Amino acid sequence: MNKIITIIAAFALVTGATSCKKYLDIEPVGRVIPKTEDDFRALMTSAYVSFPAHKSLLSLRTDELVLDEYSTEYPNYRDIYNWKDANPDPVTMEFAYEGFYKTIFYVNQVIAEVENEAGKNTVTAQLKGEAYLMRAYAHFELLNLYAKPYNAATASTERGVPLALKIDLEQNYAPATVEAVYTQILADIAAGRQLLNTDNFETGKNYRFTTRAALALLARVREFRGEWTLAQEAATAALAMNNALEDLNTSTRLPSHYQSAENIMSMEKAYDLRNVAYISNHLLTIYNQQNDLRYPLYFRKSGGDYVSLKGNSDALKISFRNGELYLIQAEAALQTDNLTAAREHLLALKVKRLRPAYYQTEATRVNGLNKQALLEEIIAERERELAQEGHRWYDLRRYGQPTIQHEVNGDTFKLEQNDFRYTLRFPKSAIANNPNLL
């Protein structure tokens, strides 16, 4: 980790950050010593830009995709697809690690210096609040990649990931426990929420954290911890500010589009594998292909296969949106035995996604489900609604860690139920830089 921080420090002081598409209005500027509000906004923009685009690789490990064996990039992804983690081919893409700590490095500078250098006002408060939220989110993603899923009984002893809370080249970056990392994540969310004062940024700047995005992140964190009442409260509070959904009966805009009515935050490129993978038959068959309006909007036939229409575009970057919050509400209500509310939240989403006649049939079916069947339906709806948005791997980890089978060059590979490979190994490059990760 010390080597990583040194590299990042040199990068930050010598160069400027890479700019993104103009329509996102991101024009980061490298500075030697940030002094002004604009300098610190540029530093925060660098943090957003450097946040890893890792969720496509996670999708390859799920039941959403089939790897194209004829793609020129096939060797780069083969060992991810067949879960060969112990000794992958050297050309295999590495999962993100350093990139998260690069983002954390930037935001730690903002947290430490923005008010000292640029004064205390609403602008610097917003910047510092965003920095806390970004630090929380980076640690949250790291934890859910490289640590076991949260279990209250074992979290205080299970190994998590290193916490980086200040710029200190001499700090010993040993992994903290899962509970300690979550404690810091929740503390950072709380600190950020105290400072944030912007509910929504204008379209084009909605890659930034806002008060709504903070609540959406909090709802997701509470959901992953199984704290259902708190997850429900956070999701409900976010939706109280704006509960719009794209009505696919009248709109052809993808719900994950940065201009969508239900958009909360568009930072992450969640899917970028159109030239490498096809949609699995499993995923295609969980939709009613004639009556679910998502099906032709999410997928397109390409030869004899189907490809995703949800990625490969900066306009489809997505971190949080209202569709997820309705599903968190449904899941949380069910887990607290409020089946009536669970059905209401689930159907509030379905009515915007299905043809009217079919929706009536679905409403009758959903209203007749018992608790276990309703839970299975909520999980299935998450799979349909959030396909290729980076949620499926995490949902598989949270619910049952089922057996998954992939075919590669005529060979069959299995990820067994509760397989230890549901938790990623730290990348070899990360271990080389920080032996504490062994």
Q: Please give the pLDDT value at position 24.
A: 31
Q: How far is CA 158 from CA 37, 152, 175, 176, in A?
A: 40, 10, 10, 9
Give the 3-state secondary structure of residue 382: helix
Please indicate, yes or no, whether the overall pTM of this predicted structure exceeds 0.75.
Answer: yes
Considering just the CA atoms, what is the radius of gyration of the chain in Å?
21
Query: What's the DSSP call for residue 93?
Result: P
Q: Please give the pLDDT value at position 168.
A: 76
Which residues are paired to 307 by β-bridges?
300
- Compute the C-alpha angle 142/144/145, nearest 5°: 65
Question: Residue ranges of the chain with pLDDT lower than 70?
Answer: 1-32, 169-170
Q: Which one, of 434, 304, 402, lies nearest residue 61 by Cα?
A: 402
Q: Please give the pLDDT value at position 21.
A: 33
The answer to whether the beta carbons of residues 310 and 298 sit under 8 Å apart is: yes
Domains located in the chain, CATH noted: 200-409 (1.25.40.390)
The per-residue DSSP string of 184-219 comes to HHHHHHHHHHHH---S-PPTTSTTS--HHHHHHHHH
Give the 3-state secondary structure of residue 238: helix
Q: Which two tokens stand for residue 87?
A: 């000794």
Q: Please give the pLDDT value at position 287.
A: 98
Q: Please give the pLDDT value at position 31.
A: 42
Buried b (16+ CB within 10 A) or exposed e, 362-396: bbeebeebeeeebbebbbebbbbbbbbbbbbbbeb
The answer to whether the beta carbons of residues 344 and 331 sit under 8 Å apart is: no
- What does the pLDDT look like over 65-121, one tens digit per residue? 999 999 999 999 999 999 999 999 999 999 999 999 999 999 999 999 999 999 999
Give 119's Cβ-side CA count (13 Å radius).
6
Q: Please give the pLDDT value at position 170.
A: 66
Q: Please give the pLDDT value at position 6.
A: 42
Q: Which two tokens stand for residue 318?
A: 């997505």
The answer to whether the beta carbons of residues 278 and 66 sit under 8 Å apart is: yes
